[in-house]
């Protein structure tokens, strides 16, 4: 693991990392998060009867759009030409709530972890926004990177790091 923060120079000033000399590789990142809510709220969302419309469909589109705009939201992120973004949202009765997983892919010189995490975050925020009229107590939780592949640092996954 790198022991140095790559976005800081030798004086401690923040800067965008120079990726000009890096080799292009296929890079993939998968992130997850969830929105915990009352069971009645989950039922309302699943039935498609939320006042603001299709919560899951809208959150999916919001997550995809957010991944594409990550460089506009997170300082020092590079604008990227993404090859694929998927945002999957499933109901989870055990929470109760919705579980969000985003997968982002590209062939390029820098990773897509921030794009996957941004997609999940904005999808969760959109779920909250669309259902807050009936449940202000919802909790956005457990947003994290599950795995990444490609690049100089190689592959990483939660499961591998926990062993």
Task: Read off the pLDDT of residues 53-83 as tens digits, 9 standing for 90 and up.
Answer: 999 999 999 999 999 999 999 988 999 999 9
Residue 26 lies in a domain: no
Q: Is the pLDDT of residue 152 over 70?
A: yes
Active-site annotation, residues:
129
What total of structural domains would you count in the chain? Answer: 1
The CATH number of whichever domain residue 130 belongs to comes to 3.30.70.640
Residue 9 lies in a domain: no
| Full residue range of the structural domain in which residue 54 is found | 39-148
Lowest-confidence region among 11-20, 82-91, 103-112: 11-20
Q: Is the pLDDT of residue 148 over 90?
A: yes
Residue 88 lies in a domain: yes
Residue 19 lies in a domain: no
Task: Read off the pLDDT of residues 12-29 as tens digits, 9 standing for 90 and up.
Answer: 777 677 677 788 899 999
Going by C-alpha positions, the residue among 142, 124, 132 that lies closest to residue 63 is 124
Residue 131 lies in a domain: yes
- Torsion angle of the four alpha carbons 123, 126, 127, 128, in this order, in degrees rounded to the nearest 10: 130
Residue 4 lies in a domain: no
Packing angle of the helix pair 39-47, 113-131 (nearest 10 deg): 100
Residue 22 lies in a domain: no
Residue 12 lies in a domain: no
Supply the mean pLDDT for the chain: 91
Going by C-alpha positions, the residue among 133, 102, 121 that lies closest to residue 35 is 121
Q: How many CB atoms lie within 10 A of CB 110?
A: 17
What pTM does this model have?
0.89
């Amino acid at each position: 693991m790198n022991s140095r923060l790559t976005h800081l120079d030798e004086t401690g000033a923040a800067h965008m990392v120079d990726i000009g000399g890096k080799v292009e590789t296929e890079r993939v990142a998968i992130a997850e998060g969830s929105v915990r809510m009352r069971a009645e709220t989950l039922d309302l969302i699943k039935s498609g009867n939320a006042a603001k419309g299709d919560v899951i469909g809208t959150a999916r589109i919001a997550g995809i759009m957010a991944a594409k705009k990550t460089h506009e939201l997170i300082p020092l992120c590079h604008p990227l030409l993404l090859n694929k973004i998927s945002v999957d949202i499933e109901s989870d009765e055990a929470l109760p709530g919705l579980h969000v997983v985003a997968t982002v892919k590209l062939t390029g010189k820098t990773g897509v972890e921030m794009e996957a995490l941004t997609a999940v975050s904005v999808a969760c925020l959109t779920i909250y926004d669309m259902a807050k009229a009936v449940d202000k107590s919802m909790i956005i939780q457990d947003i994290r990177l599950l795995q990444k592949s490609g690049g100089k640092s190689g592959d990483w996954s939660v499961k591998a790091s926990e062993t």
